Structure formats: C-alpha cells, structure tokens
Amino acid sequence: ARKGKTPEEVVKKYLQKVKSPPEEDCTICMEPLGGPSGYKGPGVTPVSRAESVGRLAQCGHQYHFQCLVAMYNNGNKDGSLQCPTCKTIYGVKTGNQPAGKMEYHVIPHSLPGHPDCKSIRIIYNIPPGLQGPEHPNPGKPFTARGFPRHCYLPDSEKGRKVLKLLLVAWDRRLIFSIGTSSTTGESDTVIWNEVHHKTEFGSNLTGHGFPDPGHLNNVLEELRAQGITEDDGLM
C-alpha cells in the first residue's frame, strides 16, 4: 500500500518536528544532533536545517532525519521503521522470509508438561531458491536444510493463541530469514528468525523440546518484539 511513498515520506510520517535539538549525539551516526548527519551516502537528498533532526512520535527518541532515511534504505523498505534504541515499531514490520508453506494440525498426543491437552503440529516447508533484492546476496542461491521442519505447541487456549500469532508472523515473513546458521556455520541458508520454536516432541535432547514452562510466554514476548501483539490474533 505504501509502495508509492519515497523513503523520506515514510520516515517523515513517523516523526515530530524538533525545534531545538538536545546536546546529545545521534546514536545512528554518533555525531552531535546539533550538527549535520554523519551519513554521506548516495541517494540522500539535502534537507533544510529545520528538518535535520526528528523525534520519533511514540517513543520520543531523536535522530538526524538523514540517518533515519539511510537506516530505512538499508532495510527491506516495507513502509515500517523500528527505533534502533528501544525497538519500538512504526507501521507494520515485515521480514524477508523466502517463499514456502506453513501448515498445522492437531495430533492426539500430549506434550511433556502439558498432560491435559492434545498437541498442535506446525509444518514449515521452504524450498531452496535464489535470493531476492531483500536478501544478503541478491541473485545468489540459498540452501534450505532440514525441511519440512516440524514444530509443536500444546493445543491449549494459550497454545492456540500463539498459533494464531505465528500465522500472522508467517504472513509478514518473520518466521525465517536468510543468513548464516549459528548451528552449522553455513551461509546463504534459511535460518530461524527471532521467534523460538519447539522442534522436538517427546523429549528434550536438543534443548528445543518440552517440558519448558516459560515457552509460550517467551514466544509471545518474541512476537511482540516483531510488532505482533494479541490484537493481531483477533482477526
């Protein structure tokens, strides 16, 4: 929907004007907010003095306008902006998860620690492919190891709530990313993004299994950090 907006217009939308910049450094470029942006990259158009510093409307953190535009241009330019200090999200954050499929069903077995309910199995399938402009090495192939990946949630009220939010995260391309696997060291491969999943069913040999009493709350917190809150599950 925001495809027509320039990066400057997107950034401006989330900013309030600052009459006199504080005597602090911009934490993007480390130069004083009272002076010009330290960012001198291509595609940055000069702005008038009055517009050189902006305050993010919700969290209040202040940056050089040009530094925010440069940060936006380095991301996937989806119309959203995340404060680099406090991680407040402006707009709807999306990721760069490659194309694939997410399915789920209920299985008639209980997970360790959840004896009173059945379980939900999520199946993620992502085939290998070519990286797009939103990926670390556009045009280069990426691998996809261990797919289909099977993940488990208790089929409880809270487990179903987490599932709903994971479906939102999938649509926003936030479950997986492309990068270097911290487990295998392989680069240009599909990796989990910042939302933890349980991939072991009846045991916990990998540390990615049950029981784990904090798991559902941790996942809700990780989803929140991606801008997905319980309101998103109401659709």
Residues near ligand NAD, by CB under 6 A: 145-146, 149, 181-184, 191-192, 196-197, 199, 206, 208
Exactly one of 5, 13, 61, 196 binds Zn ion (CB under 5 A); that residue is 61
- In the list ligand NAD, Zn ion, none, the entry touching 73 (Cβ below 5 to 8 angstroms by class) is none
Nearest residue to ligand NAD, by Cβ distance, number only: 146
CB of 146 to ligand NAD, least distance (A): 3
Q: Give the residue with the Cβ less far from Zn ion, 65 or 176.
A: 65
Binding mask 67-86 for Zn ion (x = CB under 5 A): x---------------x-xx
> Which range in 60-68, 149-157, 193-201, 226-234 contacts Zn ion by CB under 5 A?
60-68
Report residue 115 as tokens: 């004896």
Q: Using the rule CB under 5 A, is 149 a contact of Zn ion?
A: no
Residue 182 interacts, among Zn ion, ligand NAD, none and using kind-specific CB cut-offs from 5 to 8 Å, with: ligand NAD
Residue 58's binding partner among ligand NAD, Zn ion, none (Cβ under 5 to 8 angstroms by kind) is none
CB of 102 to ligand NAD, least distance (A): 14
Which phi and psi angles does 143 have, rounded to 5°? -95, 165
Which residues in this chain contact Zn ion in the complex, by CB under 5 A?
Answer: 26, 28-29, 37, 59, 61, 64, 67, 83, 85-86, 88
